[in-house]
Amino acid sequence: MEDLTQEEWVSQLAKDDNAIVLDVRTDAEVAEGVIKNAIHIDIYKGQDFINEIEELDKSKSYYVYCRSGNRSGQACNIMEELGFENAYNLEGGILEWEGELVDLD
């Protein structure tokens, strides 16, 4: 796992053709808006979270965020334990996000 500042995260994401943005917040938090093109898997779902993560393509790069950066850091660690090689945590999470937020599709 690598912690990235917003600038690093946005820059690296823009250059990564293999990228997936992953939001690990709760449904209520997601209702307030997500980063464009994010998929949502709530880390508080416990084993269901792990089951859903295991369904993801391990060859992709995952740009993970939550509210403050704590849960997304935990999610990145779980992903590494499950064999994901490229998981990037957004430092400061959505609280410090300066970009646009959209409704979850």
> Catalytic residues, which ones?
66
Spell out the residues 6+ positions from residue 24 whose beta carbon is closer than 8 angstroms to its own.
Answer: 40, 41, 42, 43, 49, 64, 65, 66, 71, 72, 75
Query: Distance between CA atoms of 22 and 35, rounded to whole angstroms?
Result: 9
At 100, which helix (H) or strand (E)? none
